[in-house]
Amino acid sequence: AQSVAQPEDQVNVAEGNPLTVKCTYSVSGNPYLFWYVQYPNRGLQFLLKYITGDNLVKGSYGFEAEFNKSQTSFHLKKPSALVSDSALYFCAVRDWAGGYQKVTFGTGTKLQVIP
Amino acid sequence: NAGVTQTPKFQVLKTGQSMTLQCAQDMNHEYMSWYRQDPGMGLRLIHYSVGAGITDQGEVPNGYNVSRSTTEDFPLRLLSAAPSQTSVYFCASRVRREETQYFGPGTRLLVL
């Protein structure tokens, strides 16, 4: 069975500092990996995805994520945090062979950027 | 292009009542899904559809029904609401050959 873990319920970072939101996964085959962001009272918005290729994936709003197969991780990063980045971030995974319905979401990490 | 729309935004039900959560998309996406979001549990898939006339169960289907008579609409029905169904419900859609899902703004449901 596939799974995804976001070990931190909340991450606090000062504005202008680099941020990292952690995600580790478990799948039986090759993974599709995603990051979504949810602002208050809104639906999830796609940030970026890893399917294959370069391990460093660049996405929306200056975010990037690094796929590390040996550590089964897909951490979300940004070089300089903005107050407007404060939101709930979800990591998701799907096994290539899992089919449409087999997308598993993490429990979410609340990012708080402090002015 | 409105994307994925959901109605209502908020609903209060009494135990045993029925209701339908509406979801519509104007992007001609083949795939549509319903998720529920509960604190500390992430998103869990309720039902999904890969095209008009085709639906299937997700991870937590009990107490919910769906149908897909058109590509655009994917309503979720609660036949007899229970307090355990208090949650935030999200509808999502995507193109068959793409992995990126587009989410609606959500419906917040409270069952008393």
Q: What is the DSSP string of A18-76?
A: -EEE--EEE-SSPEEEEEEEE-TTS-EEEEEEE-SS-SEEE-GGG-EEEEETTTTEEEE
pLDDT reading at A99 higher than 90: no
DSSP, res B34 = E
Q: Which residues of A touch B102 (CB under 8 A)?
A: 46
Q: What is the mean pLDDT of residues B102-107?
A: 94
Query: Which pair of tokens denotes residue A111?
Result: 């990012």
Which sign, positive or negative, has the C-alpha torsion B9, B14, B15, B19? Answer: negative
Percentage, residues of chain B above pLDDT 90: 88
Q: Name the band, by pLDDT with cuts 50, 70 and 90, for residue A37.
A: very high
Q: B99 and A107 in contact by Cβ < 8 A?
A: no
Alpha carbon distance B43, A92 (integer Å):
10
Q: Give the lowest-confidence range in A20-34, A55-69, A87-101.
A: A87-101
pLDDT tens-digit readout, A44-60: 999 999 988 889 999 99
Q: What is the pLDDT of residue A5?
A: 95
Q: Say yes or no to pLDDT of A97 above 80.
A: no
Q: Rounded to an integer, what is the distance from CA B30 to the centroid of its chain?
A: 15
Q: Per the CB < 8 Å rule, is A101 touching B56?
A: yes
Query: A101: nearest CA in chain B?
Result: B58
Instruction: Read off the pLDDT of each residue in B77-86 and give the average, rounded to a whole number.
Output: 96
Chain A CB contacts of B105 below 8 Å = 41-43
* Shortest alpha-carbon distance between residue B15 and chain A (Å): 25
* Residue B93, CA distances (Å) to A45, B15, B48, B102 in order: 12, 30, 9, 5
Contact (CB, 8 A) for B110 and B13: yes
* Token output for A64: 């990037």
The pLDDT confidence band at residue B93, using thresholds 50, 70 and 90, is very high
